[in-house]
Amino acid sequence: MITVATWNVLHRVHAENWYENVATRWPDESARIAEITAKVAERTERIIALQEVSGDQLADLRIAMPHRIFHAMRYQRLPTPRRIPSSLLDGGEYLVVLTTAPSKELTSESFAHDSGKGALVVDADGVVVIATHITGDRRRAHQLSRLTELSTASERATVLLGDFNADRSTVATGLGNGFTIAEYTPGALPTRPRTSGTKSQYIDHIVVHGATVTTASVDDVNGVSDHNLVHATVTL
């Protein structure tokens, strides 16, 4: 049995380009970085996957959590400021997996049709963990198919953690048979709260193949990101 969590922490450049509420609420990015680090550091899950991690955020996490094993994949695409210059020293964007037990990276890749999305695959004490961020348009189908390939490349149990930019039904259809997507506890907070539009507010998922998973809980991050944190327990 392992505990897992996933959280899209929102890259600063994306916040300034698209999510003005978060950027306005946190005008000092170093303060927001510190708050995100504090929230991650207090987590007790054995495996944590993070998306949209800036280089500055990653550096702060490493300093604060020397007891964790870090795996990080930098996307080929660098987020480009559209409105104001970025204050980040390292504006790269990373997928990150943190573990408490010994672990090693197996592979990582930016997706073929979107170099700013991808997958990071880690062997975490015998279970295959895939941290991922999926594109929110028709490119999603190919990316989900690729995740199916990565998940079934061995006979070991696989846990997928990430921002899928789609609801459970869409993800289930794209991955195919053999996958279980954690349902949310009744009345769970949205994983991606929205005040307008028709897109799903439940787009961050914990998915297993060759394992079982409990219902997922969603923790309020108090507006430090545009996504809330999702966690569950996986039984191998």
Long-range own/partner contacts, residues 168-177 (CB < 8 A, 24 or more apart): 168/202, 168/205, 170/140, 171/144, 171/205, 171/207, 174/140, 174/141, 174/144, 174/145, 174/148, 175/144, 175/147, 175/148, 175/151, 175/207, 176/148
Q: Could you write out the DSSP letters of every residue in 3-59?
A: EEEEEE---HHHHHHH-HHHHHH---HHHHHHHHHHHHHT---SEEEEEEEEHHHHH
Residue-wise pLDDT tens digits, 37-65: 999 999 999 999 999 999 999 999 999 99
pLDDT tens for 96-147 read: 999 999 999 999 999 999 999 999 999 997 899 999 999 999 999 999 999 9
Looking at residue 20, its pLDDT comes to: 75
Does this model's pTM top 0.75? My answer is yes
For the chain, what percent of residues have pLDDT higher than 90?
90
Among residues 103, 193, 209, the alpha carbon closest in space to that of 161 is found at 209
Range of the domain at 169: 2-235
pLDDT at 83: 85
CA distance 120 to 111: 11
Mean pLDDT score of the chain: 95
The answer on pLDDT for 7 being more than 90 is: yes
pLDDT at 127: 96
d(CA 128, CA 104): 10
Compute φ and ψ for 98, nearest 5 degrees.
-115, 135
Number of structural domains in the chain? 1
CA 84 to chain centre: 26
d(CA 60, CA 37): 7
How would DSSP label each residue in 112-172?
A: TTEEEEEEEEEEETTEEEEEEE--SSTTHHHHHHHHHHHHTSSSS-EEEEEE-SS-HHHHH
Distance CA 131, CA 9 (A): 13
Is the pLDDT at 76 greater than 80? The verdict is yes
Question: What CATH number does the domain containing 80 carry?
Answer: 3.60.10.10
In this predicted structure, the answer to whether residue 197 has a pLDDT above a threshold of 80 is no
How confident is the model over 16-26, as pLDDT tens digits?
998 779 999 99
pLDDT of residue 39: 98
